[in-house]
Every structure is written in C-alpha cells, then in structure tokens.
Amino acid sequence: MGKYLPAHDLGTSGNKATLFSTEGQLIASCTYNYDVYYSNNNWAEQNPNDWWQAVIATT
C-alpha cells in the first residue's frame, strides 16, 4: 500500500484539495467553492462553517 500526503489550500473563493504520493506525484485534485459576503460597501466576510464543509467534502 502506498503512502500519500493530502494538502488543503483555503483561498478567498474556495478550497483546493490535492493528494500527492510521498514521491511527489500528484494523485488527485479537486476544488470546492464557497461564497464571499459583501456588506457595508467594502467589507468582505466568509462563514467559517463553509471552510469546514469544504475541507470535509474535498477530503
């Protein structure tokens, strides 16, 4: 059985999850988008529960 390394990149508009072999080969990659909420003209907010759901879904 091979060994793998998962990685998550939580960005402004979504989470990109990747899975690499221990030799550095990309095995799989997927993205889960979430919303950015704009209010008060220049404020941008996100819901941390969206981040968590993105990690769960992409893992």
* pLDDT attached to residue 1: 66
8 Å CB contact between 6 and 21: no
Q: What angle do CA 55, 32, 17 make, to 5 degrees?
A: 55
Check residue 12 and report its DSSP letter: S
CA distance linking residue 27 with residue 24, whole number of Å: 9
| Low-confidence stretches of the chain (pLDDT beneath 70) | 1
34 — alpha (psi -120 to 50), left (phi > 0) or beta? beta
pLDDT of residue 2: 80
- Confidence (pLDDT) at 59: 92
Instruction: Tell me the whole-structure pTM to 2 decimals.
Output: 0.79
